[in-house]
Amino acid sequence: MAKTDGSDNQLYGNLTSVMYSQADLAKRTHELGEEISRDYKGRPLVLINILKGGIVFLADLMRTITIPHAFDVVGASSYRGGTSTSGKVTITKDADLDLRGKDLLLVEDILDTGVTLNVVCELLLIQQPASLEICCLLNKKRERKLKVPLKYVGFEIPDEFVVGYGLDYKEQYRNLPCIGILKPEVYSA
């Protein structure tokens, strides 16, 4: 039988600590799904995800939502493999669905500076949805130049560089089932 505590996973060795376990994430995602199901009952809901980091959260969240809904993905990047945003957002993929008149819920992994989320929201609003709200798994406590109104928040976190559950550093660590703080020596070397 395989170990489930992560002790056999080499990636755990590069974490200073686990911030949220797999069980913590599952519990909170289920709670968010229940709340979204209540709030959007009888409405034409479309979940929109920003590739790549939020795809794990989206997959788990959409399975907890008990009302009919569609989903789509957009591509946007501002990190380019580093630990902080470049400040320049590149749109790499637009939504494929017709979003006019639909209630959109942008499902994001982490709110850091707000730059990427603002650009993606502007892009989505061009399609004239009925509404646009944001569900963010992690809200990093930090000062932001741009205000980003979040309707649903999984967890408030300190200003730390976190990985796991879809979040990466140079495309690594996405497969960790938890969210952990990456050791600074890993990304400052």
Condensed to tens digits (0 to 9), the pLDDT of residues 85-105 reads 556 888 889 999 999 999 999
**CA dist., res. 109 & res. 111, Å (int):** 7
Catalytic residue among 60, 72, 109, 112: 112
Q: Tokens 């489930």 correspond to what residue? A: 4
Condensed to tens digits (0 to 9), the pLDDT of residues 30-75 reads 999 999 999 999 999 999 999 899 999 999 999 999 999 999 999 9
In the residue annotation, 112 being an active-site residue is answered as yes
| pLDDT for residue 83 is more than 90 | no
**CA dist., res. 41 & res. 54, Å (int):** 23
> Which structural domains are found in the chain, ordered by start?
23-157 (3.40.50.2020)
